[in-house]
Structures are given as C-alpha cells and as structure tokens.
Amino acid sequence: MFPIIIINNKYLKYFSVFVIFLIFILMYLNWKYYQKHILITQQEYGEKWPFTVSRGVLTCTNNMLILEKDLWGSLFRNKDEINIAGYAINGKARSEVRSSLEWNSTHAEKYPVIFADLTEIWRDNPSIRGSKIPIPQDIFEKGLAVCNK
C-alpha cells in the first residue's frame, strides 16, 4: 500500500499541483506529436528500404510528406556538413524544397537547419544502374494518412 503524503505548506501544495499539471501537459503534447508523426525504419522494410539513413519520422503538412530525424536521433547531415531537418518525399514536397534550395544555400550560415531534396539520401538500386530503389507505396500511404488525422 502506498503511503499518503500530507503536505502542510501552502506553497508546496501549489508547486505539487503545478508539477502534476505540467506532467499531464507534456504527456498530451507527446501524444499529439505521435498523432502527426510515424517512425519508419530500415528493419521494417529490409532490402526494400529506399534510404541511406536507418530510420526517420514521416510527417505530413498540406499533403507534403517529409522524412525527418526521429525524436531521439541527431539531425541528418549532408555532404557539406549542413544540418538537415528533413527530406521531401512526395512530388508536392519535393517541388517546394526545390524552389527553396536557392534560398537555403544563401542563408545556410544564418539558418543552419534546412530541408533538402531526397536524392541526398535516396539509395541507388544495385540491380538497375543509374536508378534509385523505389519508395514502397505504403510509405506514401502511411504519410498521407498522417495528413488526414
């Protein structure tokens, strides 16, 4: 049986209530984050995994699919050692990224975290020279399902 703690100090009571409230807020925010994000991993897809990174988080905004770093992972880095927040997956997101790449390249020092084109982490297809591993359809479906939540 758990002992019941009686708090006599008025300020300690308020502080305790505040801490409990804060814990519930953080739990709610964590829940909301995972409603709009899906972790996908290389282990899940095996040889069909189309990326050179081992995992990432799919997120979707305005039907634009982005593969972001996972919550506990470090930021992706491209060949120029620039921190990448995520990579555009579908056509709509890729066209948005392409239109902003020029802005990103001129502002990278001031704003070091940017979004990049998927080709930087898209795995080459060893069977067909000059092509990439196709992105499995269910990655698109999972990501777009997040958009509809």
CB burial of 111-134 (b: ≥16 within 10 Å; e: otherwise) equals eeebbbbbeebbeeeeeeeeeebe
Alpha carbon separation from 36 to 3, 15, 144 (Å, rounded):
39, 32, 10
Q: Which domain holds residue 118?
A: 37-147
Can you point out the beta strands (E) in the chain?
Answer: 37-41, 55-61, 64-68, 76-77, 83-88, 114-116
Q: What pLDDT was estimated at residue 90?
A: 83
3-state helix/strand/coil string of 12-52: HHHHHHHHHHHHHHHHHHHHHHHHCEEEEEHHHHHHHCCEC
Give this prediction's pTM.
0.62
Owner of token pair 């905004």: 61
- d(Cα 33, Cα 95) in Å, to the nearest integer? 25
Count how many domains the chain has. 1
Taking only the tens place, the pLDDT of each residue in 48-81 is: 999 988 888 888 777 777 777 655 454 455 455 4
Q: Please choose, from the candidates 53, 86, 52, 84, the residue with its C-alpha nearest in 3D space to the C-alpha of residue 68.
A: 86
* Residue 69 placed within a domain: yes
Q: Please choose, from the candidates 57, 130, 110, the residue with its C-alpha nearest in 3D space to the C-alpha of residue 87.
A: 57
Can you list the residues of the chain whose pLDDT is less than 50?
72, 74-75, 78, 81, 110-113
* Residue 7 placed within a domain: no
Please give the structure tokens belonging to residue 55.
Answer: 């995992």
* Residue 83 placed within a domain: yes
* Residue 22 placed within a domain: no
